[in-house]
Amino acid sequence: MKNLFIHIILLISISACKNKAIEKPVWVNKTDILSIPIESLVFIADEENWEATLLSFTQPVPLTVRFTNDGFVLSSQNKYGITEGMAQLILSNGSQHFYYDLNLHNKSFGSISEKDYRSPKTVNPDSSLAQHRLLHTIDEWRNILNAPQQLQPFYEDIIQLNPIAGTYRAQKDKALSSFYVQPGSATSIEVNSVYNKDENVFVVTTGPLKDKHNNTVANGTVVAFIYSDDEQTYRMEAALLNGFASVKIPAEKNRQYSLTAKVNETVSKQVQLSP
């Protein structure tokens, strides 16, 4: 009976030792804003075998733990910056964990780049040449910086683009910043026709077609050639290339056609086709 009592006492003692509460480490140089990369975070602790994890809102930050006579020191494994913001330092010893809320801040911006976004990316003088521009600056680790001139993260305005058709870059060295000014619709259509005796056809040509800003109307624009005699009406279509489009209309003896060319709502003057 006496031996059983001794065994029970020993088991209780061992269990109590295993579940002994561990004191929360004392953070000597505690701060609410932690600069990255971390040089040294000094902690006083009675126990050893500590593990440390720093969790930002986007990623874990690897830490090195160096033990000292009265605790341990934490430092960064990597010497580059991160995306700044809220974070949590977690110290673990066995099954016990201690949490420290803080904010992360980089010691350096690294390389800085400017961003110039445009909307819409494609404009057409038939509608509007107005474009919304949004400017901001980011550092090497994707943190948005205040623009020096405005003391705010973003600057935006509405600009009017040059009406000359072409491909432009908001930032000359960045192809992804390209935007486009398309030609507008034809303002007038001039039609010319020639009778080709060898093929017995009328060669009908329109062009050059221009918009109101003297841009050549876009390649691929469909031109409809509508012609009729006293009995029927016919239609042929051709696509513009470099401002011109042409069709060949079969000629018949003693038959005359009246023809107009049309692009969207723009119609040419009527011309007569006769051999």
Q: Confirm whether 73 is domain-assigned.
A: yes
Long-range contact set of residues 95-98: C-beta below 8 Å, sequence gap at least 24 = 96/21, 96/22, 98/24, 98/25
CATH number at residue 42: 2.60.40.10
**Count of domains for the chain:** 3
pLDDT band at 147 (very low <50, low <70, confident <90, very high): low
For the segment 52-76, what is each residue's pLDDT rounded down to a tens digit? Answer: 999 998 889 999 999 999 999 999 9
For residue 145, which amino acid is it? Answer: L
Q: Are residues 230 and 245 in the same domain?
A: yes
pLDDT category at 153 given cuts 50, 70, 90 is confident
Length reported for the chain: 275
Domain that holds residue 229: 191-273
- For 12, the enclosing helix (H) or strand (E) is helix 2-18
Residues 28 and 70 in one domain: yes
Say if 3 falls within a structural domain.
Answer: no
Full-model pTM: 0.69
Tokens representing 31 are 């701060």
Q: Bridge partners of 28? A: none
Asked whether residue 144 is domain-assigned, the answer is yes
pLDDT value of position 178: 96
User: Is position 86 within any domain?
Assistant: yes
Residue 248 covered by a domain: yes
CATH of the domain at 259: 2.60.40
pLDDT over 80 (residue 150): no
* Whether residue 151 has pLDDT greater than 90: no
Query: How confident is the prediction for the chain on average, in pLDDT?
Result: 90
- Helix, strand, coil % over all residues of the chain, rounded to 5: 5, 50, 45
Q: Are 147 and 134 in contact (CB under 8 A)?
A: no
Q: Is residue 200 part of a domain?
A: yes
Residue that terminates a domain, selected from 42, 77, 106: 106
Residue 36 lies in a domain: yes
